[in-house]
């Protein structure tokens, strides 16, 4: 309690719910998103001085540098940064488009790297801090209809794995969050069955619990994670016939 928590993508979905929970815990939430109107509406609902909205496009490195500097000037060092801003569009082979993939890479990967490039040096210099990167169980194996999304979220895990050992040596805790299907505006566009679909409140509470643990990956729900991990270990000769059958090819 009493921490300064920065959350990107805080205007809706998991980011908005996490903001609410952290405020209830007594932390000060620096809520960042491109949609300031939605953040302002959340601020009115919470009616708490511990919810502080900032307009920020994480794909704009100049804006990231300026905004983080302003936040720390006004509120002091950030204790926990939850880099949650992300986007999703289906990318089936029949209508595959580079622009959709570029957008997902820009927000899901470049956006996180922009935030890290500003936040990590100061945390390392202080010898403390916590970083949480939002990935997905879709990163465990390339999934049909999700070429761009799976690729972007796999990149986030690889980025986290590459940085963790070095950050451990500087006293900075880094974790990667891998949720399954969660009821959010992003998943509303899916037209296929979503196994183990969970409410956003449930997902946010699992993330909160995971952030207090020593786990590198905060992955849930357990049964879905187990199934996808099995697919991850499965030889290609078995995986591709199985996945084609699953999607009716």
CB 132 within 8 A of CB 5: no
> 169: how many CB neighbours lie within 10 A of its CB?
9
Q: Which helix (H) or strand (E) holds 177?
A: strand 173-179
Tell me the C-alpha distance between 214 and 186, whole Å.
29
Q: Is 149 a catalytic residue?
A: yes
Tell me the C-alpha distance between 31 and 111, whole Å.
15
CB 247 within 8 A of CB 222: no
Burial of 146: CB neighbours in 10 Å, binned 0-12, 13-18, 19+: buried
Which among 134, 155, 36 is positioned nearest to 85, based on CA atoms? Answer: 134
CB 198 within 8 A of CB 221: yes
Q: Of 88, 140, 149, 196, which one is the catalytic site residue?
A: 149
C-alpha dist (Å) from residue 198 to 36, 146, 191, 223, 225: 27, 20, 16, 13, 14
CB 122 within 8 A of CB 77: yes
- The tokens describing 194, both together, are 């979503």
If you count them, how many residues does the chain have?
A: 249
Residues with catalytic roles? 149
């Amino acid at each position: 309690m009493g921490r300064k928590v920065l959350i990107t993508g805080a205007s809706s979905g998991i980011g908005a719910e996490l903001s609410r929970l952290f405020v209830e815990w007594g932390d000060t939430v620096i809520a960042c998103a491109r949609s300031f109107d939605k953040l302002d509406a959340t601020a009115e609902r919470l009616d708490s001085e511990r919810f502080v909205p900032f307009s920020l496009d994480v794909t704009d490195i100049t804006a990231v540098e300026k905004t983080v500097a302003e936040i720390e000037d006004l509120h002091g060092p950030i204790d926990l940064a939850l880099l949650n801003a992300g986007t999703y569009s289906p990318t089936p082979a029949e209508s595959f488009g580079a622009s959709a993939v570029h957008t997902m890479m820009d927000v899901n990967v470049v956006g996180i790297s922009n935030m890290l490039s500003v936040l990590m040096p100061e945390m390392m210099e202080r010898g403390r801090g916590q970083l949480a990167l939002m990935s997905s169980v879709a990163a465990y194996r390339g999934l049909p209809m999700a070429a761009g999304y799976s690729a972007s979220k796999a990149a986030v895990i690889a980025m986290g794995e590459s940085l963790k050992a070095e950050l451990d040596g500087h006293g900075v805790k880094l974790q990667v969050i891998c949720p399954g299907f969660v009821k959010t505006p992003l998943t509303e566009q899916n037209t296929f069955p979503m196994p183990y679909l969970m409410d956003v409140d449930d997902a946010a509470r699992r993330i909160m619990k995971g952030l207090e643990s020593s786990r590198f990956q905060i992955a849930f729900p357990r049964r879905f994670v187990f199934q996808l991990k099995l697919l991850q270990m499965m030889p290609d000769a078995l995986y591709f016939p199985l996945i084609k059958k699953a999607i009716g090819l």
